[in-house]
Amino acid sequence: MSQSAIMNGLVPEKYIEYVLTRLKNEGIREEVLEDLLPYSRTLPGHLYKK
């Protein structure tokens, strides 16, 4: 997971924390999982390297 995050310009620690929080709060549903992929265009900007 962290390598995919890095390859997509994400900060791995922030991305993993975000994924785990969303899964905890929203559950494991297909639409949630699609939004959490490291190449998803719906990820918040604060997860990316500056």
Give pLDDT tens digits for 8-43. Answer: 999 999 999 999 999 999 999 999 999 999 999 999
- What pLDDT does 1 receive? 84
Amino acid making up residue 3: Q
- What pLDDT does 37 receive? 97
pLDDT above 90 for 46: yes
Max distance between CA atoms of the chain, in angstroms, equals 30
- What pLDDT does 49 receive? 97
Locate all alpha helices (DSSP H) within the chain, ordered by sequence. 2-7, 12-26, 30-36
